[in-house]
Amino acid sequence: MLWVGVHLPLLSLESFAASLPQRTDQPMALVDTHLIASADAAAQALGVSVGMKRATALGLAPHLLLGQADAWRDAQALQGVAHAALAFTPMVCLDEPDGVLLEVQSSLRYFGGLAALLGRLRDALAPFGHRLQIVSAPTPHGAALLARLHDELHCPDRHTLQRALEEAPIGVMATGAPHEQTLLGMGLRCLGELRQLPRAGVARRFGKALLDEMDRAFGDRPDPREPLVLPPTFRSGLELFARADTTEQLLHGAQMLLLRLVAWLSAQHAFVTRFRLLMKHEARWRDGHTAPITPLEVALAEPSRDVAHMLTLLRERLAQMALPAPTLELAIESDDIVRRPPPNAELFPTPQSERAGLVQLIERLQARLGREQVQCLVPVADHRPERATQVVPADPQLMKRADAVGPAAVCDAAQPGRETLTRPLWLLPEPQALKERQSHPLLDGQLVQLLVGPERIETGWWDGGLAERDYFIGQTTEGGLVWVYRTRPQHLPTSRAPGWFLHGRFA
C-alpha cells in the first residue's frame, strides 16, 4: 500500500480568510479563549505568537486583523479538500483537524506514476488557496505524521519510513505532545530514542496509547481506515467575517462555496444542473417583518461544473437583486445533478463545443437582461413562410438539443434525389413586386436566373390569408441568391394578382 498524506498547516487562517468580504493584506491571527491560536507570517514578523494574550498581540500589532477560531469552519474547508482528493482514489480519509489521507497504490498506473499523480493533486487543490505539505509512505499514520514535518518527502518502503520517523520529534504524535517536556527532560528528543526504551516501562508511565500510535506509524500494528462517503446532496456554508453589502463581496465568499461544489461533483463524475445560493441577512425590521434568508435559484441549460461560468451567472443575477439587508452568512446547496463522462480534449473546435459556448452565452445574456429580452425564432405549423416562425424568449435547453444550423445550401437540380428546396433565413417584411420580361422576373432591371423550383404552396383559405404561390431560387447577375415566387392565376377573391415577387435573400 502507498498512502499520501496532505497536511494543511494554515487551514484555520485560510478558512478564515475565505470568510472575509474582500481580500486584504493585513496581518491576521485567530483567537480562542482570549489567546492567540494561530497567526500568519506577517503577524509573526510583528512579534505575535501562538499562546499570546489578545491584548498583548494588539499592542504589538495595532492593525492586526483578529478572527475567532472556528472548528466548524475548518471542517467545512477540510471537507472540500477531501472531496477534491476523491477524484484520484476512492480511498480517502480525513485526518482531522487539518489533514487528508489518500491510498493511491491502485491509481498510480492510471495517472502515470506517483510524481504525475501528486502534480495533478496539487493542481486540483490549488484553487482553494491552501498551503500544502504532501508526503507519501507505506502506512497511513506514518504519512500523516511526516506530512506535518515535511513537504515532498516520499518513502517508498518501510525501511525509508522508519528512518524518517526515527528523526521526528515526539511531539508530532497526538499522544506524545502532552509528555514532550517530560520526555525531553529525560533526554528523549525523537521517536527513534523513544523506541529504544523498554516498552513495559513506557506503557506504565506514559500509557499504552503512546506505544499504539507509534506502532501504527511504523507499521508494527494494523491501522484500518474508513473511507470517506460522499453525502447524497451537497450543502456547504460560510459565515462572513463582516456584513456584505455589495455583489463583489458576496461573490468572494460564493466562489469558495462553488469550488467545494465542483469538488463534490468531480468526486462522483457528475455535473450540476441546478443549485441554490442562500443568503442569511442581518436582522433588520422592515415594514413589520424580517427577511432573514434570501434564496437565489440558478438553473443551467447545460450540466456543468465550470466555476467561472457559474460565478458569472451569479454575478449577473445578483446585480439585478435588491437585498433586504446586508448578508452575514452564505450557503450553497444542490441535489440536481447528472452523471456523464467528462468532455474529450479538443485540438480544434467542434460543433458540439461551439454549441456549448452558445448555450453559455444565452444564459449570461438572460441573467443580465432578463429572460424575455433574449429571443429566438421557433417553427410554427404553417406552410406560409411569413407565418412559419414565431419570436419567443430563447430557451437554452431547446438550443442545446437543436442541431447546429450551417449556411443555407442550395440544392443541385442536376443531381437526382436532391429536390428539397432550402428556404432563406432572411425574409422581407413584405414581398416586393418585381417586373418581368418574357415571363421571367427582373430585379433592379436585371434578369433573375431561376435555378431551383417550383415549390408550390396552396394554403390559408380558412383564415382569409390565402396563399397560392410557386417559389423559386434565383440567381442575380452579381451572383447573389434570392427567393422569388409567382402568384398563380386568381381563383378566389383574396388571391393576389398574377405576378412575380421577391420574398427573401440567402446569406
Residue-level pLDDT at 399: 56
Question: C-alpha distances in angstroms, 497 versus 276, 383, 464, 467, 482?
Answer: 60, 20, 16, 11, 21
Residue-level pLDDT at 412: 40
Convert the pLDDT of each residue in 421-432 to its tens digit: 578 878 888 888
More confident residue, 61 or 381: 61
Convert the pLDDT of each residue in 315-340 to its tens digit: 888 888 888 888 889 999 999 898 87
3-state secondary structure of 263: helix
- 309 domain-assigned: yes
Residue-level pLDDT at 24: 78
- 229 domain-assigned: no
Q: Which of 342, 362, 390 is the last residue of a domain?
A: 342
- 419 domain-assigned: no
Query: What percent of the chain stands above pLDDT 90?
Result: 51
- 376 domain-assigned: yes
Buried b (16+ CB within 10 A) or exposed e, 185-214: eeebbebeebbeeeeeebeeebeeebbebb
- 444 domain-assigned: yes
For residues 484 and 503, is the Cβ–Cβ distance under 8 A? yes
Domain that holds residue 430: 426-505
Convert the pLDDT of each residue in 252-264 to its tens digit: 889 999 999 999 9
* 178 in the same domain as 99: yes
- 312 domain-assigned: yes
Burial status of residue 276 (CB atoms within 10 A of its CB: 0-12, 13-18, 19 or more): middle
Convert the pLDDT of each residue in 424-464 to its tens digit: 878 888 888 898 888 889 888 888 888 887 888 888 878 87
Residue-level pLDDT at 410: 36
Residue-level pLDDT at 408: 37
- 368 domain-assigned: yes
* 446 in the same domain as 486: yes
Rounded distance between C-alpha atoms, residue 446 and residue 443, angstroms: 5
* 433 in the same domain as 386: no
* 127 in the same domain as 12: yes
* 321 in the same domain as 285: yes
* 284 in the same domain as 398: no
For the chain, the average pLDDT equals 85
Verify cis geometry, omega within 30 degrees of 0, for the bond prior to 97. yes
- 436 domain-assigned: yes
User: In which band, very low, low, confident or very high, does the pLDDT at 495 lie, cut at 50, 70 and 90?
Assistant: very low
* 181 in the same domain as 296: no
More confident residue, 74 or 346: 74
Convert the pLDDT of each residue in 5-41 to its tens digit: 999 999 999 999 988 877 778 899 999 988 999 999 9
Domain holding 295: CATH number? 3.30.1490.100
Question: C-alpha distances in angstroms, 255 versus 129, 274, 277, 452?
Answer: 12, 16, 11, 57
Q: How many other β-carbons are positioned within 10 Å of the β-carbon of residue 481?
A: 18
The residue count for the chain:
507
Residue-level pLDDT at 490: 57
* 160 in the same domain as 116: yes
Question: What pTM does this model have?
Answer: 0.71
* 190 in the same domain as 97: yes
Q: How many other β-carbons are positioned within 10 Å of the β-carbon of residue 150?
A: 17
* 163 in the same domain as 253: no
Average pLDDT of the segment spanning 75-100: 94
Residue 195 has pLDDT above 60, yes or no: yes
For residues 263 and 83, is the Cβ–Cβ distance under 8 A? yes
